Amino acid sequence: MFVPAWDVWAHLVNTVLATYLLNTLILLVCVTVLVLSIGVPTAWLVTMYQFPGSRIFSWALFLPLAMPAYIIAYTYTGMFDFAGPVQTFLRELFGWSRNDYWFPHIRSVGGAALMLGLVLYPYVFLVSRAAFLEQSIAALEVGRTLGRKPFRVFFEIALPLARPAIVAGLALALMETLSDFGTVQYFAVDTFTTGIYRTWLGLGEPAAAAQLAALLMVFVFTLVILERYNRGRRKYHHTGSKYQTIRRVPLKGSKAIWAFLACFLPIFLGFLLPVGWLLNKSFLYPETVLNDEFPDLLTSSIGVAAGASFVALLVALFLVYAKRSGQKRHGSGLRSLSLRVAAMGYAIPGPVLAVGIMIPFGFLDNSIDQWARQLFGISTGLLLSGTLFALMFAYLVRFLAVSLGTVEASVEKITPSMEQAATVMGVTGLSQLWRVHIPIISGSLLTALLMVFVDVLKELPATLIMRPFGFETLAVRAYELAADERLAEAAGPSIAIVLAGIVPVIILSRAIGKARPGQKDVIGE
């Protein structure tokens, strides 16, 4: 398994590798333009201006985050493909035939980039809005005093101050783009992700798949290094020690209309339209939900998502408090480094992670089986590969960073004086964690739990490669039905995934709304 597959690799280089590289680069560039042009301006509008619907948009712009990219790809294909209702209506209205008109081809690299941009812009919106909320109003007021118009204040003051956060959000969106499988596979766009899957399962060449995965990781680590470099070299400090409530400027007339449209269109295209299509199909074809397999799909999906989120939370708590106790005794050192290494799994695309886990697990299974045959004359079979343990391990590695980041940030709120007071009262060790720490950070723990739950519920490539034989989830079933062009039947499991993701997205939006010191909850004000 570890022998380089030179023949297969040479075949890939001579045939499809250049296509993988070109399509991946086009996706990255197009998604960058889309998420920046949507996420940053809308974050600025809902933070600094008041217009019809602005308070609703401040949380509603997060909603596409609950929509997996492969599901929005299915819905837009069902609506805008040649046999879909839009083109059918145009042909009936004008009496056109196939060759009488031109319509954008949804199943293309441009269509895939559009789908990814519509659901990934909330990453940039999230960090941009948080950065704008945390900026001192004094810097912006100085710009206005010096005669800068709002447009110049945004580009010359607010945007540079928020640049490190925006780059971090962009890096997350691009990592998700690199790891996407369902969208590009369904649109027949050849990228590194689809190449890894085909080489592993189609050609049966795990070594060549591992080499492709290693090449894809060059893209991933380049993004990570650039983001870290940007964060380390460009540091912007907020001016002023006091934070005032941001007084949003009222917009009227055409400006209010343009602001409304700029915020409404991403929500409509990225959430309302596809959800409406899915609900319509679910009502028209109730058998997509009310069938014998749907309860099993729901149970298995919720089961692995709940189990993985709970385990990730426990591991995150253990690592964070191990680092915290180590800092008290010996400084940060090795424990801080281990925490950073544990958090790198989120940067690894699902197919790469699956290959990286299956190869050593398969080697270990084969070694144990060979040892058992020699000593006892029996075969142990597969103990790790193709089991729920391997799948849960993949989820843990992939999404531990989500729990780690949330738990680590929340633990910082616990001051040494709180711990000292608890120690004086005789509350120490696990009792202190349970009675003092957890009540303080319970909200953040719940958020971490829900976010990992939704991420596991949406995860497709790692589940496709590593799931046990006969094990199905909502994501896998939706992909299989859509791949067979049974889009109406895919609506049931798809809408279940989307609805499960709405609650944590709203919780996250409310937490961001309260991020600014001295700022009222913008959702409820």
pLDDT one-digit tens code per residue, 63-110: 888 888 888 988 898 888 888 888 888 888 888 887 888 888 888 899
Instruction: Clarify whether residues 79 and 165 are in a common domain.
Output: yes
pLDDT tens string 403-436: 777 677 666 666 666 666 666 666 666 666 666 6
Q: Are the beta carbons of 266 and 203 closer than 8 angstroms?
A: no
Instruction: Clarify whether residues 207 and 308 are in a common domain.
Output: no
pLDDT tens string 490-525: 888 888 888 777 777 777 666 655 554 444 444 334
CATH number of the domain bearing residue 423: 1.10.3720.10
pLDDT at 262 (0 to 100): 94
pLDDT, average across residues 441-445: 69
Choosing from 281, 304, 333, the residue where a domain stops is: 281
Q: Which range among 272-276, 285-289, 360-364, 457-461 shows the weakest confidence by mean pLDDT? A: 285-289
Instruction: Clarify whether residues 298 and 272 are in a common domain.
Output: no
The region, left, alpha or beta by phi > 0 then psi within -120 to 50, assigned to residue 204 is: left
Residue 215 lies inside a defined structural domain of this protein: yes
Task: Give me the number of domains the chain comprises.
Answer: 2
Please check the confidence at residue 2 and state whether its pLDDT lies above 50.
no
| Residues in a beta bridge with 249 | 49
pLDDT tens string 133-189: 765 555 555 555 555 666 666 666 666 767 777 877 787 788 888 888 888 888 888
pLDDT at 508 (0 to 100): 67
> What is the DSSP code string of 188-232?
T---HHHHHHIIIIIS--HHHHHHHHHHHHHHHHHHHHHHHHHHH
Choosing from 220, 252, 281, the residue where a domain stops is: 281
Residue 100 lies inside a defined structural domain of this protein: yes
Instruction: Clarify whether residues 170 and 305 are in a common domain.
Output: no
Nearest partner of 65 among 397, 458, 398, 477, judged by Cα: 458
pLDDT at 261 (0 to 100): 95
pLDDT, average across residues 349-377: 81
More confident residue, 506 or 312: 312
Q: Is the model's pTM score more than 0.85?
A: no
Residue 288 lies inside a defined structural domain of this protein: no
CB atoms within 10 A of CB 205: 21
Residue 414 tokens read as 């616990």
Nearest partner of 125 among 76, 66, 73, 166, judged by Cα: 166
| Residues in a beta bridge with 49 | 249
Distances (CA, A) of 60 to 103, 135, 443, 523: 30, 22, 21, 10
Residue 504 lies inside a defined structural domain of this protein: no
Instruction: Clarify whether residues 406 and 339 are in a common domain.
Output: yes
More confident residue, 380 or 24: 24
pLDDT tens string 217-246: 777 777 667 666 665 555 444 444 444 556
pLDDT tens string 128-145: 887 777 655 555 555 555
Give the range of the structural domain holding residue 391, as residue numbers without chain letter: 294-471
Instruction: Clarify whether residues 239 and 314 are in a common domain.
Output: no
Choosing from 471, 489, 518, the residue where a domain stops is: 471
More confident residue, 358 or 409: 358
pLDDT at 355 (0 to 100): 75
| Residues in a beta bridge with 50 | 250
Mean per-residue pLDDT of the chain: 77
Residue 499 lies inside a defined structural domain of this protein: no
Instruction: Clarify whether residues 263 and 312 are in a common domain.
Output: no
Residue 2 lies inside a defined structural domain of this protein: yes
Instruction: Clarify whether residues 164 and 308 are in a common domain.
Output: no
